Amino acid sequence: MSFDPFHQFTVYPVIHMSIAGYDISLTNSALFMLVAILSITGFFYFAMRNAQLVPQKFQSSAEILFQFAEKTLLETAGSKAKSFVPFVFTLFMFILTLNLFGMLPYGFTVTSQIIVNFALAIAVFLIVIIVGFVKHGFHFLSLFLPEGTPKIFAPLIIIIELLSFLSRPITLTLRLAGNMLAGHILLKVVASFVVLMGIWGFVPIPFIMIMSGFEFFVAILQAYIFTILTCVYLNDAINLH
């Protein structure tokens, strides 16, 4: 029996479609993103449709999630960033849901795909640039030269800061994809040993349970890290710190 730990990350068409010779098939990756959007929308609609002053458990859960994203942004970027709460909240919920869906049996980890993560990261990157220039004009470029830098070091500092700024989409992308890939591959390899061990397969089961719990923690943590870094980058654009 062959066990390929990378097979679980394969993107394949679920529904084949084409228009004018162009393949627009619905892939498993796109399907899980669609399901994630519908699930998030459905949850918050159900939780808030009969909102009460004293919230019930679903309303309370929805409010806690929103307040968490709001608090994270405002504590990082200040009150001037309040208008970006919906964006940060949507980003957090989308990544969190995709990460958790990847932990379900027969689930697909969309955030293991570099192209998906890069699309999210480049959206954050472009928003930061647009906000920076809209709020500060060309003074936004002072972000690449910290105040008080000796003139003799200015060219070197500008190059370093510029490269650091341009690498943000790459680091956001690889950090999320790498963590989701590593944990799922480890779980797959250990699970394969359980099958190969036959009647002795029960021995590593406690370890698998611990690893699964850790992976759930990583799924939540990585959504938070992506979100907090987005808040930090928005802070740079809004406050030029």
- Work out the pLDDT band at 74, boundaries 50, 70, 90: very high
- Work out the pLDDT band at 209, boundaries 50, 70, 90: confident
Helix ranges, the chain (H): 28-48, 57-77, 85-101, 114-136, 154-166, 168-196, 205-239
Q: Is the pLDDT of residue 204 over 70?
A: no
Whole-angstrom distance, CA of residue 67 vs CA of residue 85: 10
pLDDT of residue 1: 45
- Work out the pLDDT band at 212, boundaries 50, 70, 90: confident
- AA letter at 37: I
Whole-angstrom distance, CA of residue 181 vs CA of residue 8: 10
pLDDT of residue 200: 52
pLDDT of residue 150: 84
Running DSSP on this structure, what letter comes out for residue 141? G
Q: Is the pLDDT of residue 202 over 80?
A: no
Give CA 238 to chain center in angstroms: 22
Tell me if 126 sits within 8 A of 166, measured CB to CB.
no
Distances (CA, A) of 57 to 46, 64, 94, 179: 11, 10, 21, 31
As a whole number, the mean pLDDT across the chain is 88
- CA quadruple 34, 122, 219, 229: dihedral sign: negative
User: How much is the average pLDDT of 28-55?
Assistant: 90
Q: Where are the domains of the chain?
A: 7-239
| Structure confidence by residue, pLDDT tens digits, 76-117 | 999 999 999 999 999 999 999 999 999 988 889 999 999 999
User: How much is the average pLDDT of 205-214?
Assistant: 79
Please provide the DSSP assignment of 20-53 as one string.
TTEE--EEHHHHHHHHHHHHHHHHHHHHHTT--S
User: How much is the average pLDDT of 65-77?
Assistant: 95
- AA letter at 38: L
| Structure confidence by residue, pLDDT tens digits, 44-64 | 999 888 877 777 888 899 999
